[in-house]
Every structure is written in structure tokens, then in C-alpha cells.
């Protein structure tokens, strides 16, 4: 993990402590994890084991393939897609995708 953000203003920062904060909790602890912030690939990676069976994992702006492409195989083995769709961004002139998964294994 690189613990970096794709945001140009954050390129000098590493977000390792931020992404690893979820490690303070046991595996299967959370009913819901929402990944929306800095270093999303790293946050997503550390979140996968923390969602309980039947729990929900949400990734905002999932149309940005670099957020999840290296974890697609792992996610597909443990989760099923509930929602994956584009919608208008509030106060914006563009659309964005949010993906919602339910953990099945």
C-alpha cells in the first residue's frame, strides 16, 4: 500500500495512520463501512476484513477505477454488488458512481 491520495493538493502527504485506523477494530466488527475521503484504495483494502458477513461496504466515486482495481478480485470473492450506478453530483454539473456491496463470505 502506498497510502497516497490522488488529490493534487495532498500529493505530499501519506495517509497510513488514517487508512490503518480501522485496524483498531476486530475483523467483522462493522455493519457498514463507507469509504469516501483521502487514500481510498488503502482505506478500502483495510476495510474489507472489518465488515461483518451481511454487512455493507460503500465506495464513493467508484467510477475512478484506480480506487478499486487492485482489489476487484478480493472484493468479488467476498462481496456481492447491491448497487452500482451513476447519479448527478449535488451542486455539480457531472455524474459520479457509488458502489454498494454486501459481504457474503
Domain ranges of the chain: 28-103
The reported pLDDT for the residue numbered 17 is 95
Q: Which residues of 48-70 are buried (b: 16+ CB within 10 A; e: fewer)?
A: bbbbeeebbbbbbebeeeebbee
For domain 28-103, which architecture applies?
3-Layer(aba) Sandwich (3.40)
The reported pLDDT for the residue numbered 6 is 84
Does pTM top 0.85 for this prediction?
yes
The reported pLDDT for the residue numbered 92 is 86
> pLDDT tens digits, the chain, 105 residues: what are they?
789 888 888 888 889 999 999 999 999 999 999 999 899 999 999 999 999 999 999 999 999 999 998 889 999 999 999 999 999 998 888 999 999 999 999
Amino acid at each position: 500500500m502506498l497510502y497516497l491520495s490522488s488529490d493534487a493538493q495532498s500529493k505530499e502527504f501519506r495517509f497510513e495512520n488514517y487508512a490503518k485506523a480501522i485496524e483498531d477494530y476486530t475483523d467483522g466488527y462493522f455493519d457498514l463501512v463507507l469509504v469516501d475521503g483521502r487514500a481510498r484504495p488503502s482505506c478500502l483494502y483495510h476495510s474489507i476484513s472489518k465488515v461483518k458477513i451481511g454487512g455493507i461496504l460503500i465506495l464513493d466515486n467508484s467510477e475512478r477505477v484506480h480506487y478499486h482495481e487492485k482489489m476487484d478480485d478480493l472484493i468479488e470473492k467476498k462481496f456481492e454488488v447491491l448497487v452500482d450506478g451513476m447519479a448527478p453530483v449535488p451542486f455539480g454539473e457531472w455524474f459520479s458512481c457509488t458502489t454498494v456491496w454486501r459481504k457474503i463470505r
